[in-house]
Structure 1
Amino acid sequence: MNETVKNAIDLIKKKTTINPAIAVTLGSGLGGLADNIKAEAVIRYEDIPGFPASTVSGHAGEFVIGHLKEVPVIAMKGRFHYYEGYPMQKVVLPTRVISALGVKTLIVSNAAGGVNTSYSPGDLMVIKDHINQMGDHPLIGPNDEKIGPRFPDMSAAYDKRMMDMAHEEAKAMGLQLQSGVYAATTGPTYETPAEVRMFRTLGADAVGMSTVPEVIAASHAGVQVLGISCISNAAAGILDQPLSHEEVIETTERVKTNFTELVTRIILRMETEERQS
C-alpha cells in the first residue's frame, strides 16, 4: 500500500466507523444519488494529503460515506480524469483507496456519447465490455502482488451476475436498459465523426473519457464491477449539431431520477442477497 493510499485510509477511519462493502462512482451530472445517502462523513479529495482536486463541472470531488436505505456505502462524487493532466496512478487513486478499505463491489457510472445509432440521449446502458483507447494504462510500472497479479485477466471485468441484476431491476421499473461496449478516449476534445465511425466498426456502442482506468484498477484488486453509462448525446457525426458539456449535464439531469432509483434498487438487492447467503 503506497503512502498516499495509507494516508487517505487513516483520514477516512478517523471520520467514520462505517466499513462499506459497496462503492459507487458518480460521473458527470450523476452525483444526485449521493444526496440520498445519510452521510456520516463527507471528505473532499483536496483535503486528503496527496490527492488532487477535481476540476470539471458536474464533479464535486469528494467521498460521501454513510447509509443508503440502511446499506453502508461509499460514494465517489466525481472523479479525476486523464485529460486534467493527472497521471494514471492519480486517476485511479480513489479506486485504490476504496479497494484497500475493503470494498468488494464497485458500481461505476459515466456520461457517454452514443455510438450505436439506435441509442437515444437519456438511455442508460449497462457496460458489458470496454475498449481502452487512452494510450496509457494504470498498471504500468512496478506491480504490488499484495493488491493483485502482474498480468490480470480482463475477460470478465464486468460482473455478469450484476449485469443480469441490473436488467431485472430495470424491467421491474418499466425502464428499457441498453447493453453495450464502452470505448474510452483521453479527451478533452469530443471525437471526430471519423473516429466515431471507427469506434462503431470496432464494436463500440458508447464513447467517453473515463471509467476504464478505474475498472482496470478495481479488477486488478479483485473488486467486482458493474458499469452504467448515461447516453448524454449522440456522438459526433450522427446528428447535424455541435457537442457541448452543457448538453451532457442537461441530459444527465433529466435522467437522474431513473439512474438513482436503478442503482438504489441494485444496492438493496445485493444487500438482501448477501444476508440470505
Structure 2
Amino acid sequence: MTSCVYSFSDFETAHAIAQFIKGKINDRPALGIICGSGLGQIPELFEKSVTLPYGDIPNFPVSTVEGHKGNLVFGTWQGATVMCMQGRFHPYEGHSMQLSVLPIRVMKLLGVQTVIITNAAGGLNPMYKVGDIMLIKDHIAMPCLAGPGPLVGRNEERFGTRFPSMSCVYHKPYRAMMKRIAEKSGIKLQEGIYSMTFGPGYESPAEALMLRRLGGDAVGMSTVHEAIAAIHCGMKVLGFSIIANTVCCDCDEDVEDVSHEEVLTVMTKASGKLMQLLNLFVKEWHESYKL
C-alpha cells in the first residue's frame, strides 16, 4: 500500500499520478465512471481492459468501504475509451474533501471530458420504491453549506476558475438523452434532487424530514463533492442514484435499522437495469462524441 500526501491545489502531484497511469494504459480515456456501492461490476462490460489497483498507484488513496474494490479499470465500452473507479473516497473515511476528489483531477489530466457518477441512496420522496433508479437533476450539498467543500483552499487555475457556476451541474442534454433511452427501453426512471450528508451515521428522522422539505428526493454520502470538482475542471456530469432503502421521517414510527449489507444486496439486484441503460447511453454518447 502506498502512502498518500496530496494537497488539492498541488497540480504537480496530480500530474505525476496521471503520467504514471499513462505509462500503464494504451488509450487515453474520454469517459469516466464512478461506481457506487454494489456497482463495481460495470467494468465487466469493457473490452481490452487494464486494471490498476489503487495501492499500486503512487500517492493515490485507498478505499476502505465494503463493496468498493479499489481499482481503476481502463478499456473500451461500445467503442468509447473509458476509465472506471471501482470504489470511491468518502470524507467520512477520514479523507479531506480535497483528497476525496483527487480522482476527478486525475481523470481530467488523462483526457476525460464526461463523468458518470453513480451511488446507493436512501429514498426521501415518498413515491420512490426500493430498487428505483433516480436520474440526478440537481443536488443539495449539506457538507459544503455547513463546512469546507472540495474547492476550499488556494485555487489552481490549471484545473478551473476560482468561482465556478453550479447552476446546471448535471448536463441537461445528457439527462434528456437518458430519459429518452429509458422510455424506449421500458425502464422506469425517476428524476430528482440528491442530498449529500457527511456520514457515516445515517440521517435521523428529523434530518431526513428537513432534507425532504428542502426538496431532496434522495440522500447519500457521496457524489456531490465529485460533481463539484468535475464542473470546476470543465467536465460534463451525469449522475444516478439507486434507491437502496426508504428513509424514515418520523421518529415515532417503528422501522428496522438499515445495514450496509442490506444496501449492497439491493444494489446487486437493481444494478442490471442501470447497466442496461448505461450500455445504451455510452453507445449513443460515443457516436455523438465522434461528430
Scaled by the length of structure 2, the TM-score of the pair is: 0.92
Q: How does 1:196-215 map to 2 (within 5 A)?
A: 196-215=208-227
1:43 aligns with 2:29: no
Alignment match, 2:83: 74
1:27 aligns with 2:36: yes
Residues 103-129 of structure 1: per-residue CA shift (max 9 Å, x gap):
110010000000001000100001000
Among candidates 18, 43, 57, match of residue 27 of structure 2: 18
**1:40/1:254 Cα in 2 relative to 1: closer, same or farther (>3 Å)?**
closer
Shift of 1:144: 1.0
| Counterpart mapping for 1:147-226 below 5 A | 147-226=159-238
SS in 2 for 1:31: coil
* Cα displacement string for residues 134-174 of structure 1 (whole angstroms, at most 9, x for unaligned residues): 13301000001121110000001110000011111111210
Aligned equivalent of 2:150: 138
Deviation at 1:273, TM superposition (A): 1.8
In the other structure, the counterpart of 1:65 is 74
Q: For the residues of structure 2 that align with 1:223 and 1:169, how far apart are their CA atoms?
A: 22
Q: Per the alignment, in what secondary structure is the counterpart of residue 42 of structure 1?
A: strand
Change (3 A) 1:131 1:37: same
Q: CA deviation at 1:52?
A: 1.7
Tell me whether 1:7 sits opposite 2:16 in the alignment: yes
CA positional deviation for 1:39: 4.0
Q: Is the 8 Å Cα contact of residues 180 and 204 (structure 1) preserved in structure 2?
A: yes
- 1:266 correspondence with 2:281: yes
Q: Which amino acid aligns with 1:270?
A: W
Name 1:88's counterpart in structure 2: 97
Using the size of structure 1 for normalisation, the TM-score is: 0.96
1:240/1:115 Cα in 2 relative to 1: closer, same or farther (>3 Å)? same
Name 2:3's counterpart in structure 1: none
- Of residues 256, 270, 283 in structure 2, which corresponds to 1:241? 256
Deviates more, 1:185-194 or 1:33-42: 33-42
Q: Compute the RMSD of aligned alpha carbons.
A: 1.3
Give the distance between the partners of 2:120 and 2:35, measured in 1 at CA.
9
Identity rate, percent: 44
Find out whether 1:252 has 2:264 as its counterpart: no
For residues 4 and 38 of structure 1, the distance between their equivalents in structure 2, rounded to whole angstroms, comes to 30
Check whether the contact 1:181–1:204 (CA below 8 A) recurs between aligned residues: yes
- Which shifted more, 232-241 or 7-16? 232-241
Given that 1:113 and 1:233 are in contact with CA atoms closer than 8 Å, whether structure 2 keeps it comes out as yes
Q: Unaligned 5+ residue runs, structure 2? A: 1-9
- Measured against aligned partners, the alpha-carbon deviations of 1:178-215 in whole angstroms (never above 9, x if no partner) come to 00000000100000111100001100000000001100
Distance 2:167 2:78 in 1: 33
Distance of 2:169 and 2:72 partners within structure 1: 24
- Separation in 2 of the partners of 1:42 and 1:156? 33
Instruction: Identify which range, 244-253 or 5-14, moves more after superposition.
Output: 5-14
User: SS in structure 2 opposite 1:138?
Assistant: coil
Change (3 A) 1:191 1:35: same
Say if 1:227 and 1:125 are closer, same or farther in 2 by CA, change over 3 A.
same
1:17-74 CA deviation, whole Å, 9 max, x = no partner? 2112111111000111111112432111121111121000010111100011332111
Give the conservation status (yes or no) of the 8 Å contact 1:26–1:109.
yes
Q: Does 1:124 align with 2:133?
A: yes
Question: Is the 8 Å Cα contact of residues 236 and 243 (structure 1) preserved in structure 2?
Answer: no
SS at match of 1:43: strand
SS in structure 1 at match of 2:95:
coil
Distance in 2 (alpha carbons) for counterparts of 1:44 and 1:4: 18
Within the candidate set 120, 130, 141, 1:111 is matched to 120
* Aligned length, in residue pairs: 276
